[in-house]
Structure 1
Amino acid sequence: MVKKKTLVIGASENPQRYSNMAIKKLALNNHPIVAVGNKAGIVDEIPIQTEVLDTADINTVTLYIGPKHQAKYFDIIASLQPKRIIFNPGTENKELELLAEKNNIEVVHGCTLVMLSTGQF
């Protein structure tokens, strides 16, 4: 299985948040993770940073923040040139989708957790 370095935007230490579950499941599947959230923290030894510091070889960006909080990441995502962006339920954003398409980034409407569980990640 190809390991896909994944940027999780909206990472949280709260174990009831889907971003937290996704970080754990990505780690379980040995995908390298860059976790970014509002507050610095840690999830199963994966540090949560408050800004995107590790920008090398990001394959996938998975979103866990609503559209009104995404704008500050537009330029960062475009500069990373990931292969795809996963819009988890509730994160859909037409403006970011258009930016992604303009930069030849695949847009996926799905759930990272389901994709990992079904081997579609």
Structure 2
Amino acid sequence: MKKTVVLGASDNPARYSYEAVSRLRRYGHEVVAVGRKAAEVADVSIVTEPPAEDNVDTVTLYLNPAAQESFYDYILSLHPKRIIFNPGTENDALVELAKQNGIEPIEACTLVMLSTGQY
């Protein structure tokens, strides 16, 4: 299973990040959820301070490009294999940084990838 960091996690069931955390857990993936407020989704605690993590496979983004900037160093420090840019999170600057650091940038939807077996 793929350890995934969800940036922009929310406990609001109307948010795609909520559904992503829920489905990732349903599919058996380990999830680290980082959001603006501490909360719980499924069996995952949303933390407000990005934790140091090892063996991260995927960072999936639910933050607009401007909000992503303060997380660049954090994302790169995780050394993920890939970053998923969900719809509305596309960011050329972070795509370039990812490529320079050997990280695969993917413009896709985590929820679709999960439901079609492409995750």
Tell me what 1:46 maps to.
Answer: 44
Tell me what 1:64 maps to.
Answer: 62
How much is the aligned-residue C-alpha RMSD, in angstroms? Answer: 0.7
3-state DSSP of counterpart to 2:53: coil
Quick check: 2:52–2:78 contact (8 Å CA) kept in 1? no
Unaligned runs of 5+ in 2: none
Q: What do the CA deviations read for 1:59-103 (whole angstroms, capped 9, x no partner)?
A: 100000100100111001111110000000000011100100000
Letter in 2 for 1:6: T
Letter in 2 for 1:45: D
3-state DSSP of counterpart to 1:79: helix
Tell me what 2:73 maps to.
Answer: 75
Q: Which TM-score applies when normalising by structure 1?
A: 0.96
> Where do 1:96-111 residues align within 5 Å?
96-111=94-109
Q: Which aligned segments of 4 or more residues in structure 1 are displaced greater than 3 angstroms?
A: none
| Matched-pair identity in % | 54
Quick check: 1:60–1:82 contact (8 Å CA) kept in 2? yes
Letter in 1 for 2:60: T
Quick check: 2:5–2:60 contact (8 Å CA) kept in 1? yes
Q: Partners of 1:81 and 1:56 in 2: how far apart?
A: 8
Aligned length: 119
Letter in 2 for 1:66: N
Letter in 1 for 2:27: N
Tell me what 1:20 maps to.
Answer: 18
Quick check: 1:34–1:54 contact (8 Å CA) kept in 2? no
Q: Partners of 2:117 and 2:40 in 1: how far apart?
A: 26
Quick check: 1:63–1:88 contact (8 Å CA) kept in 2? yes
Q: Partners of 1:106 and 1:6 in 2: how far apart?
A: 14
